Chains A and B, each alone.
Chain A
């Protein structure tokens, strides 16, 4: 963690922690996923002055809550958009796309001002704001976000509750 010399003084540690939180929270890496919140600082090591700039680099060991979806993991998500290709869902900061090939065959796309997927008997409906349980089959990580492909075509997967309906 780099710190400008102007912050040196009595509350150096506080400044360092504040900067760490500002810089690290909300970032995303391929190995660890999203860093949601820092929960504790384990230790702050000795600083190292950088040549030329005067900045000092401190090794900081910290604990944090991360969010990383795994392939094969089953989780619950909220549907954000439905179109004829499939639907998008959101699990916290992670976007998940479920293609219509991975939606059970008996569910048909219905267009209209509230596009949705419905079974032929109309008993099950996937629309915006529905809560679905899905399985992740692929992940792609880039610098700022994680994008997943999911499926609901398996046992015990699918809609949990719909907006308006009693949960």
Chain B
């Protein structure tokens, strides 16, 4: 998969740069368009570049599609992005909702359905209600060299036992991570303490 991925990426870059060699690209395009698996309408030569680029992007994406959160394959963008726990999202969305409420008398008309549904969902499944508890939970989880995504799954689901935690986040146990069962147990204990005092 990796080979195909880099190849497609290269071709994609090339396509964006080499707009001059239209005739060659047109030839390539006709190759692609006459390929049995895809039947594309024939575009005029000046559009072929973008159509081709799309084709290869699609091809590359189809390789990337094989994500698996259990092995922490969630795409580069999401690995780097900050991941939020349900309770954190609840705080953010509620804050935003209050802001909107001050601006207009009828906030429900202002917000999208997605916003509304998300707010209801995160409110329902928030483990920690007050902001201090949320902060503490993140603080505890961040001590254990977890990926952002793993941190949030643990924070959201609050497993009670070590086995449960590993079943929820299998990537924690793989790849020879420095996390042993004792560490996980300590982490879970610390988490349950916050809940008790919440």
Residues of A in contact with B (beta carbons under 8 Å apart): 25-26, 28, 31-32, 34-37, 39, 65, 67-68, 70-76, 78, 90-93, 131, 133, 136, 154-156
Contact = CB atoms under 8 A, between A and B. Distances in A.
Interface residues of B, number: 35
Interface stretch (B5-13, B107-115, B134-142, B176-184): B107-115
B93 A36 contact: yes
Contacts of A26: 112-115
B15 interface: no
B115 A36 contact: yes
Interface of B: 67-71, 74-75, 77-78, 84, 89, 92-93, 96, 111-115, 117-118, 120-122, 124-125, 149, 153, 156-157, 159, 163-164, 167-168
Given A37-B96, A154-B167, A72 B114 contact: no
A131 B121 CA distance: 11
For chain B, what secondary structure do more than half of its interface residues adopt (helix, strand, loop), or is it mixed? helix
Given A65-B89, A72-B68, A72-B71, A36 B118 contact: yes
A39 B112 CA distance: 15
A101 to B, nearest CB: 20
B157 A36 contact: no
